[in-house]
Structure 1
Amino acid sequence: MTKTIVKYAVVDAFTDTPFKGNPAAVCWLEDIEKDDKWMQSVAAEFNISETCYLTPIVEHGQENPRFRLRWFTPVAEVELCGHATLAASHFLFQSGLVNSSTIEFSTLSGILTAKKIPDHEVNGSSNGESNASFYIELDFPVVPVSDYNDLEVSAISEILNGVSIVDVKKNTLDDIYVVLPSAKDVAEFKPQFSKIKESPGRGIVITAAAPTGSGFDFYSRFFCPKLGIDEDPVCGSAHCALAAYWHEKLGKCDFVAYQASPRSGVLHVHLDKVNKRVLLREATDGMVTTRAMEATISRVVTQWCESVGWVHPLWVWLGFGILFIDPTSKLMLVLEDRSGCFGRFIILFASAYYIYTHMGCFVTCTVQVGFTPWKLDL
């Protein structure tokens, strides 16, 4: 059976600090046909807030490169996702797959655009590195909000541990927006996901005005266990509604927003009232890890062992994983537990590299790290 290799990357969006912001998996399908079941299965295997799929669209007279873009949580496809769109844009710009400064995406929410803006255009100065340093700006539709049923506000308060509520709104994506008295209330809130999962609507956003002198305009957090995301680390699409709400409260159209999740993240938000659009921007210095993913993920280990034909493999127990070494074929398999600890993976990889350099083994590592598949060839 011929295996299909799908190129992918994992990008931490809305941050310039490794392991912060919101991670998204970006899968480059190119001319590969995959059905919805396969896409959903791969998203479940990644088990991060969103996995997205890119397919190029070739049309006559097309001004900007255009791609079909779909987003999946571990349990369902969604209509709009900001951080995964940013991740997809980052992947395309950095990989050299596009030469244009503007990308168009065909999505369930219509045509979305991503624009690469040189650093000096944003900060008003140039240090000679503007070609390497840039921002990505996303052009999204405003997501309208409306008043919530006053009779249900007390029920929402109960779901949120009895917290005091200033205001409640809902958007057209069926999310509930709950305004709390202070940013401290947002940052220190302890969600009970079992309660939130039983709440009406799709998910719950909590928000409050930022403290004076913090450098931010408002805080927020987004809980969506119904879609397999207990807490979305940084949610771009939520700000398509938050921008309109905080415009009415603060009387401004430009915001610096802080998402106060444990991973945290910062967004620059502009509300275009005339065209009913929201521009989302971040610096693109976040961590990007490009990998190759086997399409037959669940069969990788089995097929690999069969191809090697283990007889008397050497093995080393590291307390959290095993190194299997076959001296005859000079191949090695690394199996790690599924705790999702990146530090443990580094130790395993370092061990594999040591054996490669000191024993002359050609090393193939297939590792499971928190449900994310890694295949590394040295």
Structure 2
Amino acid sequence: MPTLNIYEVEAFGGGHAFKGNPAAVVPLDSFPDDAILQTIAAANNLSETAFFAPDPASGTLRLRWFTPAVEVKLCGHATLATGFVIMTILEPHLPAVTFDSASGLLAVTKSDDVLALDFPARTSETIAPIPGLAEVLGAKPIAYYKSDENFMVEFASAAEVAALTPDFKALKGLTELGLIATAPADAGNGVDFVSRFFAPAAGIDEDPVTGSAHCTLAPFWAGRLGKAKLEARQISARGGFLSVEDHGSRVTIAGKCRLYLQGQIDTGQN
């Protein structure tokens, strides 16, 4: 394994340059030691690096995701990026691809230039205010929630979410894997809700666009707004564009990708 191909893809960027969330995608014949995967992800220094390889036992492709610091059990934008690499570059005749992962089977389908994830839904439960979190964020949420490995906080307006200035060092000690901040979108712009996502505990201060967070956000806002299909914006500095649909136990999360660069990794191994 002296060299590996690598693709960097901007996911959920609406097809625009320098928008969305950059993910590295590395095809493999088989998985090396985890330490090698983590070292590559740390060297890439992107919010996620996706690695995939054939799984002879299941006959599917096994997909794994690493931040610069840890392996995670679900990642949306890097899954969308991996589907894009396979269906646009490696096997452009394919209309869909299914991955086996730590979160079960995940499908990506392609229709023209839009790719859609079929992901598990995540419910959220109201919890008591987290001591010190409002001070760390610089604003007081109107409600607090817990969803799987993340906390979520709700604000009254999109402007409040946009204005958050977290103390990331302090936030790292107050959250689990990550923190979703969300609010209804301003009326009249075709968007239903906005969000930001912070994960300093996973080595990511702010994630530009977080597909997996919308496993929680889609059912949450579908219930609040009384409709299954929603338009979402992640209002990070780069910005993200997502169309989501609540199906009960599953969610659809759709968006566009753009290839930013491709090349080879020299692993230094003979």
Per the normalisation by structure 1, the TM-score is 0.68
CA distance in 2, matches of 1:146, 1:40: 32
> Cα offset for 1:33?
4.0
Which digits, 9 at most, give the CA deviation of each residue in 1:228-273, with x for residues without a partner? Answer: 0000000000000011111121111111100000111110001102
> Cα offset for 1:57?
3.2
Higher strand share: 2
> Cα offset for 1:82?
0.1
2:260 aligned partner: 288
**Contact in 1 for aligned 2:87/2:96 (Cα 8 Å):** no
Which digits, 9 at most, give the CA deviation of each residue in 1:137-196, with x for residues without a partner? Answer: 110000121121x2x4443212222x12211111112x1100011100111211211121
Alignment partner of 2:5: what SS?
Answer: strand
**Contact in 2 for aligned 1:167/1:178 (Cα 8 Å):** yes
> Cα offset for 1:18?
1.3
**Contact in 1 for aligned 2:192/2:231 (Cα 8 Å):** yes
Report the AA paired with residue 290 of structure 1: Q
Confirm or deny that 1:46 pairs with 2:37: no
Alignment partner of 2:53: what SS?
Answer: strand
CA distance in 1, matches of 2:31, 2:182: 41
> Cα offset for 1:223?
0.4
Q: Which has the higher contact order (CA 8 A, sep 6+)?
A: 2
Confirm or deny that 1:229 pairs with 2:204: yes
> Cα offset for 1:288?
3.3
Alignment partner of 2:32: what SS?
Answer: coil
Identical aligned residues as a percent: 37
Q: Find the partner of 1:76 among 64, 70, 74.
A: 70
Alignment partner of 1:48: what SS?
Answer: coil
2:88 aligned partner: 94
Give matches, 1:195-214, under 5 Å: 195-214=170-189
Equivalent residue pairs, number = 269
Alignment partner of 1:281: what SS?
Answer: strand
> Cα offset for 1:111?
0.4
Give matches, 1:1-378, under 5 Å: 4-15=2-13, 16-29=15-28, 31-58=29-56, 66-97=60-91, 99-118=93-112, 134-148=113-127, 150=128, 152-161=129-138, 163-173=139-149, 175-273=150-248, 276-284=249-257, 286-296=258-268
**Contact in 2 for aligned 1:164/1:181 (Cα 8 Å):** no
**Contact in 2 for aligned 1:17/1:287 (Cα 8 Å):** no
Larger Rg: 1
1:362 aligned partner: none
Report the AA paired with residue 119 of structure 2: F
CA distance in 1, matches of 2:31, 2:61: 14
**Contact in 1 for aligned 2:41/2:68 (Cα 8 Å):** yes
Instruction: Output the aligned Cα RMSD.
Output: 1.8
**Contact in 1 for aligned 2:114/2:255 (Cα 8 Å):** yes
Higher helix share: 1
CA distance in 2, matches of 1:212, 1:5: 50
Which digits, 9 at most, give the CA deviation of each residue in 1:183-229, with x for residues without a partner? Answer: 00111211211121111322111100000012110010000001000
CA distance in 2, matches of 1:33, 1:155: 42
**Contact in 1 for aligned 2:11/2:256 (Cα 8 Å):** no
Alignment partner of 2:132: what SS?
Answer: helix
**Contact in 1 for aligned 2:121/2:216 (Cα 8 Å):** yes
CA distance in 1, matches of 2:155, 2:232: 16
CA distance in 2, matches of 1:69, 1:17: 26
Alignment partner of 2:166: what SS?
Answer: coil
Per the normalisation by structure 2, the TM-score is 0.94
